[in-house]
Amino acid sequence: MAALLAVPLGSVLDGTTKATASPLPLTSIKPATMSTDEAVAALIEAVAALIEAAQRHSEPADFNAGHLTVGRWEAGSMFVPLADQYTDPVVLEDGTGTITLIEGDVDERISIPTVTETRRAKDLSGSITQTVGDPFSITGETVTFVPFDGNQVPGSVDTIDFKPGEMQLWFKTAPSSDPTKLFDQIRMFQASNSAAVGDGSEGFVQSLGFMLTDWKPDQSQSIAVLNMLPKIKGLEFLGTSTDRWDRAVMVFGVKTPGMGGTNQSMIMFNPDTGRPIDYVEEFHVDRNDSTQDRDFIDMVTRYIAISE
């Protein structure tokens, strides 16, 4: 096993095997200057500006909702097997053979970033090419990468081809262009996928993020997303920033209290096109919370960047 010293460029160690800077920095958000300080009015004003941008920016002639590139930085993307715990062979459903299941755990400190390029046809045929980056620790600790068959291999580039009907999607139906129907579509997904997404507004925003990894929204769908935003309870316009692909963004988010801090789920939009292009989850430590673990740190737990 190769030891991985997960320290970002430009940071230093503080002598306790912790990096003083996060390997994946929190989103630096600049509060926007709006005509009002009232949160709901500011949200509506920001949405209106993005709708106007989307109306001016129609999709290109070669637009394809199934052609998209997605960058992922997610916590817990490394499986750690327990070598002394194996199940008895399990017969495959089609009877063609057996598999042995390996028990283990996920190291939540590890992120293995990937970029996937999807080329999907309407009949669910196509290809997915995945490029795997170097693993790092989201906590800044010195951690160990485990080269296990079930883990993605850093530096690898793999392409999987799919026959008609084979490609799997979180959202099997394209996003609706009607904001009310779109809201119901996402809410139904959230209700039926409780193991993948959370409850309430946080889980709703998470579900929207999942949708964007399946379908690149066209102009009308982007406008529907924007018109739907004010319906999300607790959603705020947080301000402006620059995403991990160096694109200017307008940031909307839901803040949910958690143990020892606040979870912040964000959707980011291109201010020039009105298109949603990022989904981000962060944990912000509350230093005044007496229940928090003293080892808690601010961290990015999921960052998904999406091509237009």
pLDDT in tens, the chain (308 residues): 233 333 332 233 233 333 333 456 677 777 766 555 688 888 999 999 999 999 999 888 889 999 999 998 877 666 565 655 555 666 666 666 666 656 656 667 777 788 999 999 999 999 999 998 877 777 776 666 666 666 667 788 889 999 999 999 999 999 999 999 999 999 999 999 888 888 999 999 999 999 999 999 999 999 999 999 999 999 999 999 999 888 999 999 999 887 778 889 999 999 999 999 999 998 888 777 665 555 567 778 889 999 98
Q: Looking at residue 87, what is its pLDDT?
A: 59
C-alpha to C-alpha distance for 149 and 203, rounded to whole angstroms: 31
Please say whether the dihedral angle defined by the alpha carbons of residues 14, 17, 19 and 20, taken in this order, is positive or negative. negative
C-alpha to C-alpha distance for 154 and 149, rounded to whole angstroms: 12
Tell whether 9 is covered by a domain: no
User: What residue numbers bound the domain in which 66 lies?
Assistant: 27-77+111-133+157-306
Please give the tally of structural domains in the chain.
1
Q: Looking at residue 38, what is its pLDDT?
A: 81
Please state the length of the chain. 308
Tell whether 147 is covered by a domain: no
Tell whether 61 is covered by a domain: yes
Contacts of 72 (CB under 8 A, 6+ apart): 113, 114, 115, 116, 302, 303, 304
Q: Which two tokens stand for residue 219?
A: 């102009």
pTM for this predicted structure: 0.81
Tell whether 151 is covered by a domain: no
- Dump strand ranges (E) for 112-243: 114-120, 126-132, 136-137, 142-145, 157-162, 236-242
Tell whether 284 is covered by a domain: yes
Q: Looking at residue 164, what is its pLDDT?
A: 95
Q: Which helix (H) or strand (E) segment is 48 a member of?
A: helix 39-56
Tell whether 140 is covered by a domain: no
Tell whether 102 is covered by a domain: no
Tell whether 82 is covered by a domain: no
Q: Looking at residue 278, what is its pLDDT?
A: 96
Contacts of 15 (CB under 8 A, 6+ apart): none
Q: Looking at residue 290, what is its pLDDT?
A: 61
Q: Looking at residue 84, what is its pLDDT?
A: 52
